[in-house]
Structure 1
Amino acid sequence: MAPPPPVEYAVAVERYLAASGLGDGSRRVYRIALRTWAWALAGRPAPTGAERRRSRPPVLPLALLDRPEAAARLRAAVDRRSRDTDPRTLNRELSTLRAALAWWRAQGWIRTDPADGLRPRSVPAPAGGPAPLAPDELRALFALRAPLREQVLWRLLHESGATVETVLALDVDDLDLVHRRTRPPAPPLGWQAATARLLPLLLAGRTTGPLFLTTRRAPATTPAPDRCPHTHRARLSYRRAAELLTAHAPALTLRRLRPPRP
């Protein structure tokens, strides 16, 4: 007989971690992240530094996640933390929360997704980063017989000048195909004729969901914003995108596709 649904957020966290199949180290990192979000859901600032690991998070009813104020509190927490938290850390912890929320919804413990609409923060390119590709290198890359998804990704990275993280976070409904640009609240990006020609082929009738998708069906724990409702495939990750480029052009990296700064 299945155990009854948990009443407390903390218990739901432990049940999720027990079922996740993660190693001990990863479970510890996930637990810290999910406890941090408990402070946000309670409408209180989370402790920082060493105090973050030693603090006891507030006791919350899991049903709080279905209340309207939960989404507003999470948005406020993301905005507040984005001012003093490394964007990679914040994006990783937001992804952890989304995975837990998706699993709890699959169990029927909550009905809504209070993290829906929260977007990853842009990661600034490192100062003095890798040199952009020369024109002949770009021509050679774009002449490769690569799959359509890779062709669009590489051209969009080059033509928009955006970071890899920003481009991979785009959703289909962020795109204004007619005017070759994104719509708010997506980061303002534009592209040129080559990308504009290929994008409709990549979309193939899709109107929502991530722009760039994996080739396999998404795991059940994939957060809803990172899963295509049409194909049920997951958002393409940075790691996989980098592997795909290396498979076609071993000497290149994704960050080198950005054009030189004026």
Structure 2
Amino acid sequence: MLIFCATLPLVKNESPAPRTRGYRKKERTRRQLIAAGLRVLAEKGQGLTVSDVVAEAGVSNGTFYNYFVDRDDLMEVLAEQSALSLAAAAAMEGVEDPARRFALATTRVLQHAIEDDTWARVMLRLAGRPGSGIDLSRYLREDLEEGYALGRFETGADDATLDQVTGLIVMTIRRIVEGRAGPDAPRQATRRGLRALGLGQAESAELAAEAADAHDESGLARISHESAGPGAFRLDRIGSRSVPGHVRDTVAATPLVKS
């Protein structure tokens, strides 16, 4: 009997190669440019220029073009980052009652506007910009439809209701940015939003107070910053239901350095 023995090559269990110092430096520079872009955008809005961003970041024009094709390329990334940070603030996984979800999510967004002025200003600058993803109605629509189906809300996710509720949130953020809102603004806006959806005065006040207490006790609204500083967002908890898939995928696939 002939026995054929095959010798198999040894396969090493190779772990992913550690990131090189050069890669880490490029990563830091890209985050630095994005953080600078967010700060400039918060201040100047659509008037942002490449020169403004590189001056804020303390790098050269050539460095900028190693990471972004042009100003519009950077604006797209800034919008995507901001859309994801909004989704993270509004994510409400595991909360079954749509009225309570609305109260908690609204409080999170408005409290974060108080805590991070740059974030709040970017939200206002990008709200309504075509393709920016900064559209509060997309995060509210499902909850409003569910609340109406369950009899919790008197109205569903029709355009008029969405405009009324999102307008309330955006105007509250504007008042916060302009220094015209007190620390109780999130609770008051949340209560008014619930009233607009048809909840009674007592229950609206109770849910709004509960949401404010939840934030104070556990810091639910906090979205940590990257080490690059204010304006560079890291999303600690993102609910899959709340984040538009195309936004998440685009940010995840954004190359470190342009090809």
TM-score normalised by L of structure 2: 0.29
**Rg comparison, structure with higher value:** 2
Higher strand share: 1
Higher helix share: 2
